[in-house]
Structure 1
Amino acid sequence: MAITGTIHLVGAGPGDPDLLTLRAARLIETARIIVHDGLVDPAVLALAHPHAELISVAKKRSQHTMPQEEISALLVRIARSGKDVVRLKGGDPLIFGRGGEEAELA
């Protein structure tokens, strides 16, 4: 049986770290790998573990740093390597983003 990690889809809310859910804050603080978009406030990213690997997949001026298909493949690759990963998205990823599409990866 293959050991796989978990992909945690976490919404960063409107930007203020005090408005994160307790679970979101805990996942951000303990994650070793965080794949985040450009809408995540730097104050939220500052909660990350000092040794966490932060991978930006930010969209800049209507151009994706990484196309959605590559983001999805990256998340799956990390999980299949046995590591947990937080996919951190600005706002509510299920209402304003492609969270539903990314949730289907699991």
Structure 2
Amino acid sequence: MASTGRGSSRGSGGTSIPEVQASVPAPASPMLDHSFTLQTMLDVKDSVTALRVKTERLIDDVAGQNGKHDKISERITGIESKVTFARGAFWVFTILAGSGWAVALLFIGKWIGK
């Protein structure tokens, strides 16, 4: 008794075809339903809107940091100018004090040498 693969064999040696075909529904595609597409588009729109809001907030935060950076930069520039002035004053004082000391030693040397 050989089976042909088309059905089950019965004791009589023949093949039988089922009388009732199994009813299989057609596969449902989500693209046939417009609500799926609309829902997807609305989700994408919401995601893009959220991304835009977060990007704008990031831009505002960075702009706020630039304002703070400018204030700090101005303070540093002010401190640098004060330090430069103090250095200049130190060198002027050192040169004047050295010159005065040299002049004083010159006069003291002349008085002692007399």
TM-score, normalised on structure 2?
0.16
Determine which structure has more spread, i.e. the larger CA radius of gyration.
2
The structure with the largest helix share of the pair is 2
Bigger RCO of structures 1 and 2 (CA < 8 A, at least 6 apart): 1
The structure with the largest strand share of the pair is 1
TM-score, normalised on structure 1?
0.17
